[in-house]
Amino acid sequence: MRERRRRVLKAVPGALLALDLPLAWASSIVAVRVWPARAYTRVTLELDAPVRPTYFTVPEPHRLVVDLPGVELDATLRDLVAQVRADDPYIAAVRVGQNRPGVARLVFDLKVAVDAQVFAVTPVGDYRHRLVFDLYPEQAPDPLAALIEQNRLMSEQAAAARSSPAQDPLAALIREREASSARSDRSGSPAASQDLRSREPGRTDSPRDPNRTEPGRARAPVRRMITVAIDPGHGGEDPGAIGPMGTMEKDVVLAIAMRLRERLAAEPNLRILMTRDSDYFVSLGARVSKARAVSADLFVSIHADAFVTPQARGSSVFVLSERGASSVGARWLANQENRSDQIGGVDARRGDREVASVLIDLSTTAQIQHSRKLGTAVLGELGAVGDLHKAGVEQAGFAVLRAPDIPSILVETAFISNPDEERKLADPEYQQRLADALHKGIREYFRRNPPAARGQAT
Ligand SMILES: [Zn+2]
């Protein structure tokens, strides 16, 4: 009973499953939290000792039933009922009760069939033992279709606000999809490095690419939809850094990201993917996967971390490093960032798979070259808003910058650990100035590096 085997167990209707975790005789619930989001709803139970739950799903109506041995029903657990919001996409209600002496039972009444991922997270940071229930829709939305829908709503809102006819990104996207389906499938990773080259106009005549010599192929940059992935750092269980006044990094970076989205949404032929647009946790691997799923042209991760000394100040921009970091500070920050999955809580078995799917390949060198160009453009604009922590783009092994085929930067807008910068970060006006600087930097990058048509190299 006490062996520590770990196995992946999926909830299937009618089957009783046990998570193979160390058995505890009695645990008290320290806290319960619910994080609803379009992507998935997470329920976290924080306990003072590990528990070994059993759970199963029941269809018609869909329910997830969880038994917690060694857990007594108490006020903290009952609080879960009140935490479910009416607009939760997946949970209609939660019922809690004492199933039998020493066993508390949770019944989640579900709005749709879910794929329940249940896993334990060992204590880390300020957290004690966590039991996590991630409820994903069984019918996951197609990432590109979801992006189209999000951008359509955004452009409708923008058009209504301006009362002027806007570019129709949906129509443009449909045209692009039709055009791309007529070409051969370019989604295979071997084409990734070629695809990146095809975006660099200075190299469009490269003799190394036999496709360039084909007649009829467009050589000049072609206007097409550009996709920018905006990645607000942290979220949900992972607050990021917390300032001396209590300001959370996850909140200020989301605010800056939303302002950047608004600016970019006004650009023609540009659509935006937000890796998160509300307060929920997204693993580092999932951030990269989301951007790759929609063939993003750029990836901009926004942060406002703490630093070892409260005096540290100013903005910095980082790109991936294949070996080593450009400074001790850069390495320290990358290590902090890369802890996000541990703090936020991922099922280690799933997380490993995601990281494996974005291993560095040969195209990474080209990715880093482009990322530096983007980083330099953004850093130049940030320097006009406030201090720069370092005059040049820095490098370190940030896991979130590892898409081998997407120029990717991580922007530390300011240090939330510096009381003066914390105050600025919480100020909407300063957030707007930072967003405007990011916007100008991105525009400047595209002005100097116009994207070429997709599929040229396939
Ligand atoms: Zn951060």
With tokens 């917690």, the residue in question is: 68
| Distance from the alpha carbon of residue 342 to the mean position of ligand 1, in angstroms | 13
Query: For residue range 3-47, what is the model confidence (pLDDT) as tens digits?
Result: 333 333 343 443 445 554 444 468 899 999 999 999 999 999 999
Distance 401 CA to ligand 1 centre (A): 13
Amino acid of residue 30: V
Rounded to 5 degrees, φ, ψ at 161 are: -65, -35
310-333: per-residue pLDDT in tens? 888 999 999 999 788 999 999 999
Q: In what order do the strands lie in the sheet with 41-47?
A: 29-35, 41-47, 129-137, 114-121
In whole angstroms, give the CA distance from residue 167 to residue 155.
8
Crossing angle for the helix pair 284-293 and 348-357, to the nearest 10 degrees: 40
How far, in Å, from the CA of 250 to the mean position of ligand 1?
A: 8
Ion ligand 1 — residues with CB < 5 Å? 233, 240, 303, 305
Ligand 1 centre to CA of 234 (Å) is 6
Whole-angstrom Cα distance, residue 333 to residue 425? 19
Domains and CATH numbers, the chain: 17-137 (2.60.40.3500), 226-448 (3.40.630.40)
CA of 87 to the centre of ligand 1 (A): 29
CA of 133 to the centre of ligand 1 (A): 24
Distance 253 CA to ligand 1 centre (A): 9
Q: Output the CA 408–ligand 1 centroid distance in Å.
A: 15
Q: Which residues does residue 364 pair with via DSSP β-bridges, in sequence order?
A: none
Strands annotated E in 373-432: 394-396, 408-412
Of the two residues 33 and 355, the one the predictor is more confident about is 33
pTM listed for this prediction: 0.79
Q: What are phi and psi of 375, to 5 degrees?
A: -60, -40
In the block, tokens 């360039």 appear at 212
Residue 159 has pLDDT above 90, yes or no: no
Report the alpha-carbon distance of residue 266 to residue 428 in Å, rounded.
20
- Look up residue 247 and give its two tokens: 């300001």
Q: How far is the CA of 18 from the centre of ligand 1 (A)?
A: 35
Torsional sign, CA 15, 20, 21, 22: positive
Average pLDDT, integer, range 406-433: 97
What pLDDT is stored for residue 180 in this prediction? 52
Q: Are strands 129-137 and 41-47 parallel, antiparallel or unpaired?
A: antiparallel
95 in helix, strand or coil?
strand
Please report how many Cα atoms fall inside a 13 Å half-sphere around the Cα of residue 36, on the Cβ side. 14
Name the band, by pLDDT with cuts 50, 70 and 90, for residue 207. very low
Ligand 1 centroid, distance to 337 Cα (angstroms) = 6
Side chain identity, residue 136: Y
Residue 5 burial by CB count (10 A; 0-12/13-18/19+): exposed, middle or buried? Answer: exposed
Distance 347 CA to ligand 1 centre (A): 21
How many A from CA of 38 to the centre of ligand 1?
Answer: 23
Distance 256 CA to ligand 1 centre (A): 13
pLDDT of 55 over the 90 cut: yes
Q: What is the pLDDT of residues 361-384, one digit of tens each?
A: 556 788 999 999 999 999 999 999
Among candidate residues 432, 352, 379, 346, the one with its CA nearest the CA of residue 121: 346
Q: Distances in Å between the alpha carbon of 120 and those of 77, 192, 335, 345?
A: 17, 36, 23, 8
Say yes or no to pLDDT of 110 above 70: yes
